[in-house]
Structure formats: structure tokens, C-alpha cells
Structure 1
Amino acid sequence: MLFLDRLITLPQYLAPHHALSRLAWRIARSKNTAVKNTLIRTFLSNYDVDLSEAERPFIEDYESFNDFFTRKLRAGARPLGATDGAIVSPADGAISEIGCIDNGRLLQAKGRYYSLQALLGDDETLTRRFTGGSFATIYLAPRNYHRVHAPITGTISSIRYIPGRLFSVNSRTARCVTNLFARNERLIVEIHGAAGSIAVILVGAMLVASMELTSCDVPAAVRAASGAKRPFIIAPTKTPTMVERGAELGRFNMGSTVILLAKPESLSWDPALAQGCEVRVGQTIASVNSKRPSARS
């Protein structure tokens, strides 16, 4: 199985990730009616998309394929967890891994780990903050709703962009691409609230031409085409930006993965969560521990 995975994944090491993603960006935004309707119908025939949840349930209502892919849901489609202060899922998807950050490493797939420090772009302050904490990785399949929401009420204290590759993200690449999530382009949004600091990490992938932030006063999209070669911090505003639990943070213009990081002893994950478990935006996935660190380190 692993040999076959590596064989299938091998062409991705040679592929021009960013050039392909820029091409996908242009095609996905075509407003030609025939092109966008063909793309949407082909997508619907291949993936089990529930358009009845969408604010606009008819394909004719969308300007482009990307407009369809980043569709909003109708009001009430994702109610928040009833427990006040609970941590809720930031995305629709499936838990690919969940657990503790041991010895500065996160589990990527069975027998394969990656570095917390590398994931965080070698930011020593952030690395210290989450060392010994816990994580949950949520994979967004093509059929899923692709907007990302705040898991807690709090203040956006920092936003970091980390440039990188754009390997496809799925169970196969997780098994055979070393340090997959620490190699791909990503956007790190740190929120400080009742559970201390929580990091919401949007991980890019092949054909993910941009990850867009909608929750604060920052440039509309951070794209692979931006030309950035090194990590950089995006200050949301001079005044800290508040977000409510369940509020939209951003979106993937084409799919990928969200990783949540929590500080040590700050929260307890729902014991029902396990690898492969489906989650939805607003669903309670963790509770704040009564004895938790009182300040950011």
C-alpha cells in the first residue's frame, strides 16, 4: 500500500504547484455561463454536495465555479453548540488526526509525525505557547462547505502567512509525504479567549489558489502568487479584532485542511471524536478546562 501511495504521489514532487494553482484560480473564476455551469454540473455529478443547505440552491445563481465552491449556507443550517463557552468545530469535514503534541511533534498519519515548530514557520514564541498542548486536524473533502469559522469567542491576536508547497492533501499524501502540513502554504490565525490561545491553521493544497480572510481588516486574499518567500505577520488592525464563536473567519478558494492547536491543559476534546469522525461547523468538539493557564506565555 505504501509503495503504491508513493508511486501515485511521485508526480506531485515534480509538478509546478503554484503555476497549476494560478491556472485553476483563473478557470474557477470564469463568468462564462457555459464554462461555469459545466464545471459545477461536473462537480455535482462526482461529489455528494447538499445544495439544499446553501443560501442559493440553484447553480444558475452563481457567477462562477469559485462562487459556487465558496457558497454561503442558509441561516440556521449550522446551529452553535448549546453549551455556552464550548469550543466548536471551525469547519465541516472529518477528523483525520487528534491528540497531544508530544515532544514538539504532531501525528500526521499512522507512524508519521511532523514538527510543531516547522508547522508554525519556526516562530519560537508560538512554538513555546503550544508545546505540550493538543491538536485536531480536520480534512475538508471537495463536497464539504468550505468556509472557516471561529471556534471560540475572543480576540484575534495575530495572523501569520507561511509560504510553501501545494501538495494535495488527502489520506494518501498524509501517509507518504514527509512533513506534509509543515511544507504546504498556510495561514495561522491566533485567537485568545476563555481557553487561552487557540491557533486556527488553514493549510493550502494543490489547486487551492488562495485562502481568503473575511473576518478582519487585512488584504482580501493571501495567494501563492503573491511572491512571498518568507513567513510574515499580518497585523489585523491597530486595535485588537474581536470575533464571536461561530463567526466566519475565512474561506478556502478550493479545498484542504484546518488544524486547531490548543495550549497545555486548556481544553478537553469530546471523547467521541476519533479518526474519521465527521464534524460540522458549530458542533461542540471540546470544553474549556476549569483549571487552565491564566495568561499567554
Structure 2
Amino acid sequence: MSAAGSDENAPANPSDAGSSDEGPNGASPGGGIRGRLFVWMQYILPQHGLSRLILAATRVRAPWFKNALIRGFLKLFSVDMTDAVEADPYRYGSFNEFFTRPLRPEARPIDANPHAIASPVDGAVSECGIIDQDRLLQAKGRHYTLDDLLAGQPWAKRFEGGSFATIYLAPFNYHRIHMAMRGTLIDTVYVPGRLFSVNTMTAQYVPRLFARNERVLTLFDTDFGQFALVMVGALNVGSMATVWAGDITPAARRAVTRIPGPAVTLEKGAELGRFNMGSTVILLFEPNRARWHPLLRAGSVVQLGQAIGGLRSDNPGERT
């Protein structure tokens, strides 16, 4: 097969992306002085306090309150409810239930080719490509290291010279995260940090953004070597959760912590976790394992389940 399946499953053209200049969780701050002010304000905001407040507010079940939040959100963002199991936004028990709403199974078909990397989320690609030794591209002119991103985990070196893809989830996106391929869980690690917004504007101005923000690291073993998926927290992200450990953030103890979990095996397309409010995921592959679709680039819009790249196994006779 080709690197990522047929062109009909290819990511949308970068010009279709709608989040290149988004502000906190999607609002547009503009560029120039306004954009710099937006980023500067994040340094002085009580980021974790705000996120805890958001967490509490989005789980209030009083109908008048949660419906007011949902109504305000729908005025700000164009949300497609036709793919949801429950299409009426006001029938959800809380704002968080509305925000993390499940989709109808047929709404996001998962590419069945075992050599295809399925997009784990709906979103827009921030950057993707080859890891330059241990350096990943954050934005034009800005890099950060694997060791920083993975908080010095002993398995970080496995991905030096490998491949990465960073995908941003806007507020109107589906906010559950799924498996890019079949894998068995090896490790889950909580890493404390700041909670800067993760939109393009902030990525341009905040050094080492993804290695500074709070995050959850997950590592899996697969038929194509190991891969990691990093869930990156952000301003107004109330919590991050996995299906095997539940809510991991906010953490009672803000220190790098290995989260115990079963040796669970998840099928391709199975739910891995979710953001309770929007953020970013980073996929990491070992060297010579992944090849991104030729149309996958910064700004590409992707949907859960579509093929975004191809995989190569240890068997030299197999093709991606």
C-alpha cells in the first residue's frame, strides 16, 4: 500500500485548517502586539487555579447552570452535533458530558489496514516530521528536546531520530483520544508543568511549550516497535484521563509520577483517554518505523481513524 492509504483518506489541504491563529482553546487573539499581549498574560494568570475552577464549573449538574454554559459555548463555536450519539446538546447531564460526548460508531471509521497509522483524534496538525536526533519542531524557529518532553524517562532515547506528529484539538472538535494502532500498555507517567494555551500563537512565542506544560505520557508495545502518545495539558483544561487510570489531572501531588496500570491491550481505534476541555496530542515513533502521508503537514485537518501514515515492521519482506 502507499504510505497512508489512498488519497481519499488523505488529510485535508492545509488551507482548510481553521485554527492557525486561535487564542485560548480556539478564540482568535490576532497577531502583532495583541498576540504578544495574549501570550504575556498567560505568564501572570493563575493557570492551575483557573483550570480547577473550570473543572468544577463544567461538572455542575444543575440544569440552568450547565445549559447556560452549553448555550454560551454554542454561540462561540460551530459545533457539529450530527455525529454525536446524543444530538441534543441540552440532554447531557453536565457541560463536561456534552464536551466529551461520544460519537456514533459509524461516524469515524477506523482505517483497517494493519500498516496504516490511524489519526488518534479530530484536530489540526501543528507540526510533523522526523525527530532531528533528539529535537522536535514546535513552530518555525523553535525546537524542544525529547528528554524535556518525556521528563527524562529511560525510554526517551528509543525515539531519537524517529518520527513525530503534533495534533491540536480545537474546542469544537471531538475530545476523546483513540489508539493509532493496536498496542499493549507499558508505561503511564504524569509530568507536572504550566498550563499555557497550546494554539499556534502561543507555540510561536513560548519556548519549549509542550515540554513546559503539564502532560501525561503513555508508552505502548506494538507489532511495529514501541510508540508513545503524549497528552499535553493547556489553559482551561480541567483534567486529562485515560481509560485504565481515570482522571490523572489535576494531580494531588505535582511531581513526576509513574501511574500504575494493568498490562492492557487496546485495539486500533479503541478509546485511550480524553481531554476535559481542549488540548494537544503528540505521537512518537521509533526510527525507520513510520512514514507520514505526503499531504500531512502543518495546518492539515485530520479526523479520527483516517490513515495519516504507514508503518514498517521488523520483517524486511513487509511493505508499508
Which residue does 1:267 correspond to in 2? 290
Which residue does 1:139 correspond to in 2? 168
Paired residues for 1:99-138 under 5 Å: 99-123=129-153, 125-138=154-167
Q: CA RMSD in A?
A: 1.5
Which residue does 2:259 correspond to in 1? 234
Deviations 1:139-167 (A, max 9, x none): 00000000000101011111111111101
Q: Does 1:247 align with 2:270?
A: yes
Question: How far apart, CA to CA, are the structure 1 residues paired with 2:56 and 2:267?
Answer: 33
TM-score (norm 1): 0.93
Counterparts in 2 of 1:4 and 1:103: CA distance versus 1, 3 Å: farther
Q: Does 1:35 align with 2:65?
A: yes
1:291, CA displacement in angstroms? 5.1
**SS of aligned partner of 2:106:** coil
TM-score (norm 2): 0.86
Which residue identity lines up with residue 138 of structure 1 in the other structure?
A: I
Gaps of 5+ in 2: 1-30
Kept after mapping to 1: 8 A contact 2:223/2:313 = no
Kept after mapping to 2: 8 A contact 1:92/1:144 = yes
Counterparts in 2 of 1:131 and 1:40: CA distance versus 1, 3 Å: same
Kept after mapping to 1: 8 A contact 2:230/2:282 = yes
1:4, CA displacement in angstroms? 4.3
Question: How far apart, CA to CA, are the structure 2 residues paired with 1:2 and 1:227?
Answer: 38
1:103, CA displacement in angstroms? 3.0
1:37, CA displacement in angstroms? 1.0
Deviations 1:168-217 (A, max 9, x none): 11011000011100000101111111221110110000111110111x2x
Aligned length: 286
Which residue does 2:200 correspond to in 1? 171
Kept after mapping to 2: 8 A contact 1:194/1:288 = no
**SS of aligned partner of 2:128:** strand
Gaps of 5+ in 1: none
Which residue does 2:100 correspond to in 1? 70
Which residue does 2:309 correspond to in 1? 286
Which residue identity lines up with residue 149 of structure 1 in the other structure?
A: H
Which residue identity lines up with residue 229 of structure 1 in the other structure?
A: R
Kept after mapping to 2: 8 A contact 1:186/1:201 = yes
Q: Percent identity?
A: 47
Question: How far apart, CA to CA, are the structure 1 residues paired with 2:185 and 2:314?
Answer: 23
Question: How far apart, CA to CA, are the structure 2 residues paired with 1:195 and 1:110?
Answer: 30
Q: Does 1:17 align with 2:42?
A: no
1:3, CA displacement in angstroms? 5.1
Which residue does 1:59 correspond to in 2? 89
Which residue identity lines up with residue 222 of structure 1 in the other structure?
A: I
**SS of aligned partner of 1:121:** coil
**SS of aligned partner of 1:200:** strand
